[in-house]
Amino acid sequence: MSDDHGTIESLSSLAHDDGESYPPSAEFREQANQRSPEVYLRAAADPEAYWAEQAQNRLTWKKPFTEILDWTNPPFAKWFADGELNVAENCLDRHVANGLGDRVAIHFEGEPGDTRTLTYAELTHEVKRAANMLTSLGVTAGDRVAIYMPMIPETVISMLAVARLGAAHSVVFGGFSAESLRARIDDVEAELVITADGGYRKGRVSPLKPVVDQALELDDADGKPSTVKHVLVVKRGGNDIEMTEGRDLWWHEEITSYDGEHTPKGFPAENPLFILYTSGTTGKPKGILHTSGGYLTQATTTFSDVFDIKPESDVFWCTADVGWVTGHSYIVYGPLSNGATQVMYEGTPDTPDWGRWWQIIEKYKVSIFYTAPTAIRSCMKVGRQVPEQYDLSSLRLLGSVGEPINPEAWRWYRDVIGAGKTPIVDTWWQTETGAMMVAPLPGLTSLKPGSSQIAQPGISIAVVDDDGNPVENGQGGLLVVERPWPAMVRNVWGDPQRFIDTYWDKFGDKYFAGDGARLDEDGDIWFLGRVDDVMNVSGHRLSTTEIESALVGHHAVAEAAVVGADDETTGQAVVAFVILKSQQHLITEAEAEQELRAHVASHIGAIARPRNVYVVNELPKTRSGKIMRRLLKDAAEGRKIGDTTTLADTMVMQLISDRVVAER
């Protein structure tokens, strides 16, 4: 990352300047969880008091806290440090104790169509048994347990059982290779791995246990064997696997020895809850450490307020994988702590066909749906005729996370999925922030397509220039968090220096998020992409997001990624990679390239006109679906392609490189 980020200019007059705005309907506002703007004022007046109130009112403490924030040793924050709680009890036992045991916690839908319903009482029972099983395998408070699983209920049960014992989980997304898994196991020094034989993906069983075997056979960086003593295996895929005597155990065989009696102990609020690696969009993944009380407070609060959840009537569905932070905070901890009912789906949106998601929404009457822009754009590419075949009238709120949602995709999402009436909450946050930071409150905010708009109550966000001075409305700059927040990253696991260097070196007391953002005339926040990706063309700093949005706004374009490539005359030049909508293959690539260059110039300005536009079939994405621009930059500059370990499909980059070379 260069030292000189400068500020990002806003040259564009994209959709946001025409005053397009969607206020909440009177009907929505009247029933909303947050319906008075007073909440913002109250929280701003005393953020710590606001969070203490949330922690007290929304969570159950074994020992009440008297301290709120301890920031005496920045950047290492402590929240509610003298309080004690059990995170799993907050997600389970207390709901059962409140008479909600019969409420459905999870409607599980397997990819092959098998289903399983778990009430709060049943989930609590399963977690207690699992906690007893883990105890007998030697797991105690402070240990780390690696979880490498498909999207099945046992994944949630495992996470909660680990949390219940005061140990920390490190979930590794089931698509990662043996090398990536091993690196994460070594980094957290896990003695137990919980996995499954395999899980269903795209209509077939994708093996997991064999990958664990392979990971454990590898030598670590120092040639040492792994720390793992046991591998616990859930039977899911039915695929043939090998079991190593003395090390490997079947979950279903072991669990029968344990009953459902287990009393949750209180653990300090700063007890580690999980370590999760970032998705690696901008570089080597970082092991992000989260702790218990503050994290759960913010996950619980934002889940309730941003999604406007009514636990007694809503059915929530987040399509993320539990292997990402979105799954941690908005499949496991936020929903369960609130006692909500949710859908959990194992597979991909296109299995057996692109109707699958919409069929699930119809079947379970999902009312609140949370997904990523990349998925929305894929659905757009397939066409509205698919979702139109299903009854989606149960939906009352939609959410987006993971990347900036371009206005074109926002409008499609609202019109086609939300019947032209549901609010959309565009939620900005990171693995490091633990929970949502910038997002509308749907009963209060007049929505603007493409903008995350406003910091959550109790969160202090600013857009600043390189010296840390706040920019004025209408200007772009760097996004920072000005005060510690409850769910903030506590450390980079095993590497406090990296924690300091990455997030705190630049501005000292302000958290540097690594994202560029712009304030519009109303002070609403628009994300402009990663600071690492910002382009400098003839001295103008241009945003990837704005140029990509302009490209996707063209009727022929399904997806776009833009990078700045070295250029002899302009310093950097804009290079665009686009996927055309399927019907558009009628125009030639040369015509498309000409037209798209002109389109960007007329929509944003001549300075943003791409030097090259490459029509490609796929874009390089992380396994969480984000575009990896750094790899495209390597290709555009004719360099060897960098670290691709978190890439979903490594072939994609080869094709793109070939395409770029062919044109040189």
Distance (Å, whole) CA 22 – CA 16: 12
402 assigned ligand-binding residue: yes
Which C-beta is closer to Mg ion: that of 312 or that of 501?
A: 501
* Contact region with ligand ATP (CB under 6 A), list: 42-50, 227-235, 402-410, 593-601: 402-410
530 binds, among ligand ATP, Mg ion, none (CB under 5 to 8 A by kind): ligand ATP
Q: Decide: 540 and 534 in contact? Cβ < 8 Å.
A: no
**404 near ligand ATP, judged by CB under 6 A:** yes
Distance (Å, whole) CA 485 – CA 616: 41
- DSSP one-letter string for 24-47: PPHHHHHH-S---THHHHHHHH-H
429 assigned ligand-binding residue: yes
Which C-beta is closer to Mg ion: that of 284 or that of 384?
A: 284
Which C-beta is closer to ligand ATP: that of 251 or that of 410?
A: 410
Distance (Å, whole) CA 346 – CA 11: 43
Q: Which residues pair with 148 in a beta bridge?
A: 195
Q: Decide: 439 and 449 in contact? Cβ < 8 Å.
A: no
Distance (Å, whole) CA 292 – CA 155: 19
Distance (Å, whole) CA 274 – CA 341: 23
**549 near ligand ATP, judged by CB under 6 A:** no
Tokens 């029509």 identify what position?
615
Distance (Å, whole) CA 128 – CA 131: 5
Distance (Å, whole) CA 165 – CA 171: 16
Closest C-alpha to 479, from 7, 4, 48: 7
Q: Per CB under 6 A, which of residues 117..176 are in contact with ligand ATP?
A: none
541 assigned ligand-binding residue: yes
394 binds, among ligand ATP, Mg ion, none (CB under 5 to 8 A by kind): none
156 assigned ligand-binding residue: no
Q: Per CB under 6 A, which of residues 408..427 are in contact with ligand ATP?
A: 426-427
Distance (Å, whole) CA 318 – CA 324: 12
Virtual torsion, Cα 543, 549, 550, 552, nearest 10 deg: 140
Residue among 6, 75, 198, 280 that touches ligand ATP (CB under 6 A): 280
Peptide bond preceding 440: is omega within 30 degrees of 0, i.e. cis? Answer: no
341 assigned ligand-binding residue: no
**282 near ligand ATP, judged by CB under 6 A:** yes
* Contact region with Mg ion (CB under 5 A), list: 271-279, 435-443, 574-582, 651-659: 271-279
* Contact region with ligand ATP (CB under 6 A), list: 428-436, 488-496, 570-578, 594-602: 428-436
Residue 406 is encoded by which pair of tokens?
A: 């371009």
**428 near ligand ATP, judged by CB under 6 A:** yes
In angstroms, give the least distance from the CB of 403 to ligand ATP.
5
Distance (Å, whole) CA 426 – CA 415: 16
Which C-beta is closer to ligand ATP: that of 309 or that of 325?
A: 325
Q: Which residues pair with 573 in a beta bridge?
A: 565
In angstroms, give the least distance from the CB of 175 to ligand ATP.
14
In angstroms, give the least distance from the CB of 215 to Mg ion.
24
* Contact region with ligand ATP (CB under 6 A), list: 15-23, 176-184, 390-398, 510-518: 510-518
**278 near ligand ATP, judged by CB under 6 A:** yes
**475 near ligand ATP, judged by CB under 6 A:** no
Which C-beta is closer to ligand ATP: that of 68 or that of 478?
A: 478
**477 near ligand ATP, judged by CB under 6 A:** no
Distance (Å, whole) CA 69 – CA 410: 37
CA atoms within 13 A on the CB side of 52: 17
Question: In sequence order, what are the residues at sequence separation of 6 or more whose Cβ sits closer than 8 angstroms to the Cβ of residue 277?
Answer: 170, 172, 184, 285, 286, 287, 288, 431
Q: Decide: 259 and 132 in contact? Cβ < 8 Å.
A: yes
552 assigned ligand-binding residue: yes
Q: Per CB under 6 A, which of residues 306..365 are in contact with ligand ATP?
A: 325
**503 near ligand ATP, judged by CB under 6 A:** no
326 assigned ligand-binding residue: yes
In angstroms, give the least distance from the CB of 315 to ligand ATP.
23
User: What is the number of other CB atoms lying within 10 angstroms of the CB of residue 202?
Assistant: 11
* Contact region with ligand ATP (CB under 6 A), list: 48-56, 400-408, 503-511, 549-557: 400-408
**264 near ligand ATP, judged by CB under 6 A:** no
Residue among 305, 321, 403, 533 that touches ligand ATP (CB under 6 A): 403
548 binds, among ligand ATP, Mg ion, none (CB under 5 to 8 A by kind): none
The DSSP H or E segment spanning 475 is: none
**401 near ligand ATP, judged by CB under 6 A:** yes
Per DSSP, helices labelled H in 273-416 are 293-306, 325-327, 334-337, 356-364, 373-382, 407-412
**285 near ligand ATP, judged by CB under 6 A:** yes
Q: What is the DSSP letter of 418?
A: S
Which C-beta is closer to Mg ion: that of 284 or that of 421?
A: 284
Binding site for ATP: what residues are annotated? 402-404, 426-431, 515, 530, 541
- Positions touching ligand ATP (CB under 6 A) are 278-283, 285, 325, 401-404, 426-428, 430-431, 452, 513-515, 527, 530, 624, 626
Binding site for CoA: what residues are annotated? 201-204, 326, 538
- Positions touching Mg ion (CB under 5 A) are 278
